[in-house]
Structure 1
Amino acid sequence: MRAYLRGMATCLTDRALIRLAGEDVRGFLQGLVTNDVATLKAEAPRWAALLTPQGKALFDFLIWADGDAVLLDCEAAEAEALAKRLALYRLRRPITIEPTGGAVHWAAEGTEGVPDPRLAQLGRRWLGAPGAVAAGWTEHRLRLGVTEGVAELGSGETLWLECNAAELGGVSFTKGCYVGQENTARMHYRSTVNRRLVVAPLGEAGKRTRATYPEFGLMVEHRRVEDLGDALRPAWLELALAEPAAE
């Protein structure tokens, strides 16, 4: 074990793994999720989501290559619901969608694993055997302005680009069709992302509040871009607000 990991707890116990395997499993996911699965490489996971037909986030996850199979690194609390949703699209395809053993690990620094595909500053991520529970991940993520999970993104409530998916590598605009693609692409090319999920100092909760974290003095809100107010503005968000033009 590398020196920086000795005695260090790294396991994210609020995450689970779903394994998809079978005939053309990548083609199956390619037509469903927001990121490119066809070109997915080992040790280079991608952030993606399953959307409603209107382009609103239902589930977000990281996709890992596992030989010919694929692993979804997802919220443990939503793993069963995600698997059931994917099974609805499977129809008669010879594809298995099952929970699998192992655990997701994280460290803020070091050389273990690979950089988080959303933002390098989030730290390193890898899959392995279960271990001691990591501390500090949620606060670290929030202070970098990165939101995830149903509690923050909502379930069918927030357009995927309003979740900062374009800025954090959660969508491909060249891969072709997927569920919710039409509205997502239209918003991107017309530069019409009018609201953003942002992290802000804890205040009075209101209609735009998605989640509160009193222990960190933070909250997640869904705000109009002209009314971000006291929201945290990490460099990646400042760049997005300054240069909103489509690629």
Structure 2
Amino acid sequence: MPVVSLPDRASILVTGPEAEDFLQNILTLDLHTLQPGEARPGALLTPQGKILFDFLISRMNGGFRLECRSDIAADFARRLMMYRLRAKVEITVDDESLVHISWGEESASSQLESSVPDRRFADGFVRRFYDADLSASATMDEWTAYRVAQGVAESGSDYELSDAFPHDVLLDQNGGVGFKKGCYVGQEVVSRMQHRGTARRRMLIAKADTALPASGTPITVDGRPIGTMGSSAGSAGLALVRLDKVKSAIDRVVPVLAGETSITLSIPAWATFGFPEATAAED
């Protein structure tokens, strides 16, 4: 099985008798459906419904582990402390926690008990290890290629924090948003987008005949921006784009460009949304 070490990840540990209620009231996902031994995505939003911090959360003895980018961990923990008030919880940052990932059909078969499946991946073959003594057998480029092929986005490389709604990066599709739970920060905006079907941007899989340009490269149609490139691995990558503009380009048979590179865009196979039947009028 390929294994890669992620040196740029940290863990925020939230423990105590009121840990679940505390997090349930502020995070997007429904913790009451989070099973022991699994990791699921989630976010803490701004009141306007945009992603302030993203993470993977799993249960641990006495509370929860929120795995996130190491460069945002301290700010994330401080924001959680702001919401704590009188809740009986402890919030600590473990920035020395080792995170490894394995993938493939045989992933972690010999070390199942020390890992948790990453539920962002529909194939079920990705597992995350915390504080495990593993040797890396793959590169970050190989991991990025696998993640891109599965249509799984992450902040930093694929989108900027405070600039994307959960629907934009498919958290509504992979269990990162609980639509049947009670209120949480930013819930009103996210629920309105869900019930009215007003999500305009989506993370799609981009492919080209040549290597794709760097993350952040503008994606255009007829010289007008419709989105930006995210991570790429050779000729495949992720792109955060306006769905209606992509559909219009497809219907009119005009090229979609990432920089100067012609690309095709597709919806991840596991996602349940589609291109809009009607497209917005050209600006």
Contact 1:49 1:58 in 2 (8 A): yes
Q: Does the C-alpha gap of structure 1 residues 117 and 80 become closer, same or farther in structure 2, counting only changes over 3 Å?
A: same
Worse overlay, 184-193 or 128-137? 128-137
**Deviation for aligned residue 1:57:** 0.9
Partner residue of 1:233? 267
1:199, 1:68 → 2: CA distance?
A: 39
**SS at 1:80's partner residue?**
helix
Contact 2:28 2:43 in 1 (8 A): yes
Contact 2:39 2:58 in 1 (8 A): yes
Contact 1:56 1:180 in 2 (8 A): yes
Partner residue of 2:251? none
1:18, 1:64 → 2: CA distance?
A: 11
2:202, 2:98 → 1: CA distance?
A: 31
Query: What letter matches 2:71 in structure 1?
Result: A
1:71, 1:203 → 2: CA distance?
A: 35
2:154, 2:197 → 1: CA distance?
A: 22
2:16, 2:236 → 1: CA distance?
A: 43
Q: Does the C-alpha gap of structure 1 residues 147 and 212 become closer, same or farther in structure 2, counting only changes over 3 Å?
A: closer
Worse overlay, 19-28 or 111-120? 111-120
Partner residue of 2:186? 180
Contact 1:10 1:107 in 2 (8 A): yes
**Deviation for aligned residue 1:70:** 0.5
Q: State how 1:1-247 maps to structure 2 within 5 Å.
A: 4=1, 9-100=3-94, 102-109=97-104, 110=106, 111=109, 112=112, 113-121=115-123, 123-128=125-130, 129=132, 131-133=134-136, 134-135=138-139, 136-201=142-207, 202-203=212-213, 205-206=217-218, 208-209=227-228, 211=230, 213=232, 216-228=234-246, 229=256, 230-237=264-271, 239-241=272-274
2:183, 2:163 → 1: CA distance?
A: 21
2:190, 2:267 → 1: CA distance?
A: 23
Worse overlay, 41-50 or 106-115? 106-115
- Aligned residue pairs, count: 236
The structure whose RCO (Cα within 8 Å, separation 6+) is larger is 1
**Deviation for aligned residue 1:219:** 4.7
1:21, 1:49 → 2: CA distance?
A: 18
Runs of 4+ displaced beyond 6 Å: none
1:127, 1:18 → 2: CA distance?
A: 15
2:185, 2:20 → 1: CA distance?
A: 15
* TM-score, scaled relative to structure 2: 0.74
User: Residue deviations 1:139-192, cap 9 Å, x none?
Assistant: 211122211123423111111111111212211111111111111011111111
Worse overlay, 100-109 or 184-193? 100-109
More helix by share: 1
Q: Does the C-alpha gap of structure 1 residues 165 and 142 become closer, same or farther in structure 2, counting only changes over 3 Å?
A: same
User: Residue deviations 1:38-86, cap 9 Å, x none?
Assistant: 3432102221111111111111111110122110111122212211221
Aligned CA RMSD, in angstroms, stands at: 2.5
Pick the structure with greater CA Rg. 2
User: Residue deviations 1:100-158, cap 9 Å, x none?
Assistant: 35322211122333432112336322333254345222221112221112342311111
1:203, 1:150 → 2: CA distance?
A: 16
Q: Does the C-alpha gap of structure 1 residues 243 and 62 become closer, same or farther in structure 2, counting only changes over 3 Å?
A: farther
**Deviation for aligned residue 1:218:** 4.6
Contact 1:43 1:65 in 2 (8 A): yes
**SS at 2:32's partner residue?**
coil
Contact 2:229 2:238 in 1 (8 A): yes
Worse overlay, 99-108 or 83-92? 99-108
